[in-house]
Structures are given as structure tokens and as C-alpha cells.
Amino acid sequence: MKFYICLTLMMLDVAAGLQCTLVPGKLKQIDAGAGQIYGVNGADDIFRLNGNSWVQVPGKLIHVSVGPSGVWGANRENEIFKIQDGTWVQVAGALKQVDAGGNVFLGGVNNADYIYCLSQDLTLSKGTSLPFIQLDGRLKYYSCGRYSCWGVNGNNDIFYRLNVSPNDCKGSEWRQVDGNMIMVEVATDGSVYGINTIGNVCKRVGISFSNPGGTGWSLLNVYGSFRHVSYDNGLLWLLNAEENIFKCDINDYAEASIYTTPFYYYH
């Protein structure tokens, strides 16, 4: 029997649930950033949300990301693409997952879980032969935001990277934090969300420029089990195992009236 710890957000009396709505369509991966939402479905088709409708984008990808670095993606052959002048352009290299949410820099991992990044000048370059910088360690998922980059390894351990910046995407060292997640996603504004090993949605609290690792995890009160999360502009996007899409308004979640307390559960 495995034992897990997460910090849960509890109301002073009764916790109000996060209000979510089912969005038409099916996606296996979704990414929100810089005011845009992209996703891919089980057939590797690419979609962009335009108002309340999904518009198909030409091409095939297994992972797509949008943020200050633009729109990037990786296909089943681990080939890397970015949207340049309105069309997909292939970039030299091989990654299975990319993240454009950094402070105008790019991160990603390859099929052996090695970690790579591109600093701001390279991310904004129109060149296609870009020298990716390798970081130490291995992760199966890597995501960056305003203050730091976060990732999870094959054991679902969670780490964040110190001293990353637009001109030094490599940073200096890893710090491990408590908990186990199947993925951790960093938003454009620096917010960090994760999905734990039983499908709960957690948010990292206490994150700031001076404390990029935050102070603990809080469990969001949202019904269901999920496998993918993304956040931008007050909206949390969730996917479950059936590839259903949920949009949740975080602005209605009154964090000012909640506190953190240890929450224990078994699996």
C-alpha cells in the first residue's frame, strides 16, 4: 500500500468546489499560455481554441505548447516544429515534449528523458539549426514559467530548477520538493499546477521571484480524476482519461478564505 501526502485547501467552514464546465471535443493533451489554447487529439490532430470553437490547425503532433516563446510542438518521430510566419517549420533536434511557457525561453525532454532548453535569443531566432542546451538529470515532463522550471521524473518525483532566466535557460541546480506527480505544469504567470498519482489536481502555493519553490501543495476541490492540466488567465484546463475537456474558473475559487492543512490518503 502506497502512502501519499498533499496539502489540501480547507474553507474555514465548508470548502467550495471549483466550478468547471465540460467543453465540447476530445483532446489527449492541452496547453494554455499567452492568451491562447492549443491541443492535440488521439489522432495527433492539432486544434486551437477560437472563441468557443476548436479550429483545426494543419499538421500532426503528439504534444503542442504555446506561450511567450511562441507555438511549438513535437510529433511521433520526436521531430520538433515551431510556427514561424504562420506555418510549421521543422527545427533540428529530437524531443517528445516541449514547453513554450518560459520567460521567452523553451524547455523540453527527449524520448530518453534527457532535458534540453533554448535561451531567449535562440528561441526567437528564425533559424532552424538551433543548438539546444542539455541540462543534468532526467525528467519525463518539463515545464517553465516566469520564475522557474519544474518537472517530474520516471518515479513521479518533483523537482524545480534554480536560477533559470531568459539568457540562461540552463539555470544552476535542481531542488526536490515533497509529493509525487505524474505531471507538473507551469503557467505563463509562474503558477504551478500538478496532477498527482491518483488524478487529483494540486496547486503549488507561496511561489514568488524570491521563493520559486513555493511553500507547499494545496489540493483543489474539483470533482473527478484527471491526467492533464494547464492554466492561463484565470482559467484551469483539465483532461480526464476519456479525453474530455474541462474549463474551470479559478477566479471564483476564494483562496483568501482558505488555509492549508495536511491531507493524507492511501492508494
In terms of Cα–Cα distance, which of 36, 4, 2, 39 is closest to 228? 39
CB 179, CB 217: distance < 8 Å: yes
- DSSP string of 148-193, one letter each residue: -EEEE-TT-EEEEETT-BTTBTT-S-EEEEEEEEEEEEE-TTS-EE
Per-residue pLDDT of the chain (267 residues; tens, 9 = 90+): 444 444 433 322 234 578 899 999 999 999 999 999 999 999 999 999 999 999 999 999 999 999 999 999 999 999 999 999 999 999 999 999 999 999 999 999 999 999 999 999 999 889 899 999 999 999 999 999 988 999 999 999 999 999 999 999 999 999 999 999 999 999 999 999 999 999 999 999 999 999 999 999 999 999 999 999 999 999 999 999 999 999 999 886 654 333 333 333 333
Q: Report pLDDT for 251.
A: 81
Backbone φ, ψ for residue 62 (5° rounding): -100, -15
Residue-wise burial string across 253-267, b where 16 or more C-beta atoms lie within 10 A, e elsewhere: beeeebebeebeeee
Q: Report pLDDT for 18.
A: 87
* Sequence-separated (6 or more) residues with CB below 8 Å from residue 169: 102, 105, 106, 107, 117, 118, 119, 120, 133, 144
Q: Report pLDDT for 16.
A: 56
CB 72, CB 37: distance < 8 Å: no
Q: Report pLDDT for 17.
A: 79
pTM: 0.89
Distance CA 116, CA 134 (A): 4
Neighbours of 62 (CB within 10 A): 16
Q: Report pLDDT for 267.
A: 34
Q: How far is CA 227 from the centre of its chain?
A: 12
Q: What is the CATH number of domain 3-266?
A: 2.120.10.30
